[in-house]
Amino acid sequence: MARKTKEDSQKTRDAILDGAERVFLAKGIASTTMADIADAAGVSRGAVYGHYANKIEVCLAMTERAMQHDHFDSLPRLDSPMAALAQAAGYYLLLWSRPGQLQRVGEILYFKCERNEENRPILRRRNLMDSLSMRYSRRLLKQAIACGELPADLDVPLCNRYLYAVFDGIYSMLKFSYDEGQAEQALADSERMIAATLAGLPAAPQLRRR
């Protein structure tokens, strides 16, 4: 029997992760079995277990593969912190709205990952992504205060949570609030809402420290 090459193993892993994306989207993580993933991937259950111990490992590997398409660090650096914040929000708006691995995995992580003990490693990975995003936006808010783009008495922790809530709502709206064929309108509306949110920060008394 011919030995499997690294290329063969990689093709099998890719088939497993592709199949996992489809079945997780259709059934959610909690209702998915390793047999479901094998069937969706067109491989044996032994092949799946040969690469991953359980479906949680499959989901984490699927997430890491998708995140390789995130090239935020390669964007040009901007002098204005508020412009950089708008750039980040717009970049991820486009990234999560375009059909592809990141969009599918984002939907799985945020809409198909039930809160239970089994899914805890996946939830931790999702929380880490959220934490890194909020750490970045908090740093930009402090820089915006330092250079006079935002008022000195801005309540940074509150403002940061406010931005997270608004952006999370906008990203969710892209999926649930528009009919098929309205993708361009949804994206344009989302960009306007992001711009309006950021433009309103300097004048919102509710976001000042008390």
Residues 116 and 190 in one domain: yes
- Tell which residue, 118, 92, 96, 122, has the closest CA to residue 109: 122
pLDDT for the residue numbered 180: 73
pLDDT for the residue numbered 1: 42
Can you give the CATH number for the domain in which 26 is found? 1.10.10.60
Which of 67, 82, 110 terminates a domain? The answer is 67
Domain enclosing residue 36, as ranges: 6-67
pTM of the full structure: 0.86
Number of independent structural domains in the chain: 2
Note whether residue 43 is domain-resident.
yes
- Tell which residue, 34, 174, 74, 56, has the closest CA to residue 125: 56
Residues 91 and 150 in one domain: yes
* Tens-digit pLDDT string for the chain (210 aa): 445 688 888 999 999 999 999 999 999 999 999 999 999 999 999 999 999 999 999 999 999 999 998 888 888 999 999 999 999 999 888 888 788 898 899 999 999 999 999 999 999 999 999 999 999 999 999 999 999 999 999 999 999 999 999 998 888 887 777 777 777 888 888 899 999 999 999 999 999 998
Residues 50 and 85 in one domain: no
Residues 62 and 78 in one domain: no
Look up residue 6 and give its amino acid.
K
Residues 62 and 99 in one domain: no
Q: What HEC string does the chain produce?
A: CCCCCHHHHHHHHHHHHHHHHHHHHHHCCCCCCHHHHHHHHCCCHHHHHHHCCCHHHHHHHHHHHHHCCCCHHHCCCCCCHHHHHHHHHHHHHHHHHCCCHHHHHHHHHHHCCCCCCCCHHHHHHHHHHHHHHHHHHHHHHHHHHHCCCCCCCECHHHHHHHHHHHHHHHHHHHHHCCCCCCHHHHHHHHHHHHHHHHHHHHHCHHHECC
Which of 67, 82, 97 terminates a domain? The answer is 67
Note whether residue 1 is domain-resident.
no
Cβ proximity of 19 and 65 under 8 Å: no
Residues 54 and 97 in one domain: no
